[in-house]
Amino acid sequence: MSTSEAPHAPNSAPASGFAAKFSHTLRSLEAAQKPGIGVPAYTRWVNRRVARYFAAAAVALGITPNGVTAISAACSAAGLIVLITCPLALVWVSALHCFSLSVTVWIPLTARLLA
C-alpha cells in the first residue's frame, strides 16, 4: 500500500469535526481495502462494509487501539452474560448482536495502525 492510500496520510489531513474526519477515514479505508477474490460473499459484502463504518467512527472519535479492545471485551462479556442468564429465544438475538459488534470492532485497530 502506498502512503497516499493510508488513512490520515500527511498530505491529506482531514478538516476538523466528526463528519469530516469520518468521511475522510471512510474514503481512505475503502481505497485501502484488500481485493475480494477468494473471500466468502458474506465477509465481502456485509462484514467488510459494516466494519469500515465502525472503523471510521472510531478514528473520528479518537478511540485508541486499547479503547477498541475494551469495547470488544465489553461486547464479548455482555454476550456471555446473556448466554448464561437469559431465556433461549432472547439468547439467540442478543448473542448474534454482540458477536457482530465484537467482530467489527477489531477493524478500527487496524485503521489506527495504518495511520
CB 105 within 8 A of CB 72: yes
- Average pLDDT (62-88) is 85
What residue spans of the chain are helical by DSSP H?
18-32, 41-42, 48-61, 65-85, 88-104, 106-114
Q: How many residues does the chain have?
A: 115
Question: Is pLDDT above 70 for 8?
Answer: no
For residue 40, name the pLDDT band (cuts at 50, 70, 90).
confident
Q: What pLDDT, on a 0 to 100 scale, did the predictor assign at position 17?
A: 85
Q: What pLDDT, on a 0 to 100 scale, did the predictor assign at position 111?
A: 57
Q: What is the pLDDT of residues 101-112, one digit of tens each?
A: 665 665 565 555
User: Which residue has better confidence, 47 or 61?
Assistant: 61
- Whose grid coordinates read 497516499? 4
- Whose grid coordinates read 473520528? 60
Q: What pLDDT, on a 0 to 100 scale, did the predictor assign at position 102?
A: 62
Q: Is the pTM of this model over 0.85?
A: no
